[in-house]
Amino acid sequence: MVATSISVEIDSPVEATRLWKAIVKDYDLLPKQMPGVCSGVTRLQGDGGVGTVIQIDFTPVNKDFSYVKERMDEIDEENFYYKFSYVEGGELGTVWASAQFKLKLTPKAEGGCVLSHTCDYDSLPGVSIDQAKIQEMEGAATGLLKTVEAYLISNPTLYV
């Protein structure tokens, strides 16, 4: 088993409060913005706070897995910090023994924010993650942010 951490930092022209509401609070935004990739998001337990479990279902375009269940481990709304873990689905059991994700939005004085996204995972024994897979994971995180960002820019009154 190999412990690995992958981090990306992305500048965004969108204010941290708006990105926070779109990415962390609005479960329904993902299937609306990426209907070709995500077919739905369902809250399975909890009230939207720590301990809440959601299931994200993917369309057949995702050939690696059809769903993932995420548990909210930490939420600090004042500091725009969010931590969650995969508890089922995704690449758990095939590639990863465990996976945790951290998201932090840092407002910039001149407007917009910096989004920091970290994935900490333990690979299964005998499974190695190559550089192409790491780049794919980084690209997926960046692509998701850019999709949400474009939507918020084109809808300036949403989440204000």
Complete DSSP assignment for 42-97: EEEESSSSTT-EEEEEE-TT--S-SEEEEEEEEEETTTTEEEEEEEEETTBTTTEE
Domains contained in the chain, CATH given: 3-26+73-154 (3.30.530.20)
| Average pLDDT for 70-75 | 97
Confidence of residue 141 (pLDDT cuts 50, 70, 90): confident
pLDDT of 10-67, one tens digit each? 999 999 999 999 999 888 888 988 888 899 999 999 998 999 999 999 999 888 899 9
Question: Is the pLDDT score of 5 beyond 90?
Answer: no
Query: Which pLDDT belongs to residue 1?
Result: 66
Rounded to two decimals, what is the model's pTM?
A: 0.88
On average, the pLDDT of the chain sits at 91
Q: Yes or no: say if 9 and 114 are a contact pair by the CB < 8 Å rule.
A: yes
Closest CA to 105 of 58, 69, 152: 152
Residue holding tokens 């995500």? 38
Q: How far apart are CA 57 and CA 34, in angstroms?
A: 12
Instruction: Quote the Cα angle for 86-92-94, to 5°.
Output: 165
